[in-house]
Amino acid sequence: MPEIAQKESPAEGKPFLLDPYREWTQGEGISVHLDFGHDLITLETGPWERYGARGYFAFTHGAGDFMSDYVIEVPAGRKTTPIRHLYEAFFYVLGLSAACDNGARS
């Protein structure tokens, strides 16, 4: 992913057009893919220490901060490292070779 340009405001001489989330993703140590559309099954994953699994980020041109996707590859019989987060998340299973338990209890 191209580096995020930090520009200075001519009026105040302070940086603007910053994207702290994209800067954070670059520090996660996994691939960041940027395109108009993605084939999520074929993109290359890399080791992601935060989750204890392999993964990548997939950003879509023109989506702004509305759509931020990441993919985690979890081998059969394994699980990710538990994390706490403060955001809304949707989960889609892209391929399944074993039973899936999301930990939800009724």
**Mean pLDDT across the stretch 2-23?**
66
106 Cβ contact partners less than 8 Å away, ≥ 6 residues apart: none
Interval 41-66: pLDDT, tens: 999 999 999 999 999 999 888 876 66
9 Cβ contact partners less than 8 Å away, ≥ 6 residues apart: 15, 16
Cα distance between residue 9 and residue 56, in whole Å: 33
User: 72 phi and psi, to 5 degrees?
Assistant: -120, 130
pLDDT of residue 100: 59
Q: Where are the domains of the chain?
A: 22-94
pLDDT of residue 85: 79
Q: Taking a C-beta distance cutoff of 8 angstroms, is the pair 53, 72 a contact?
A: yes
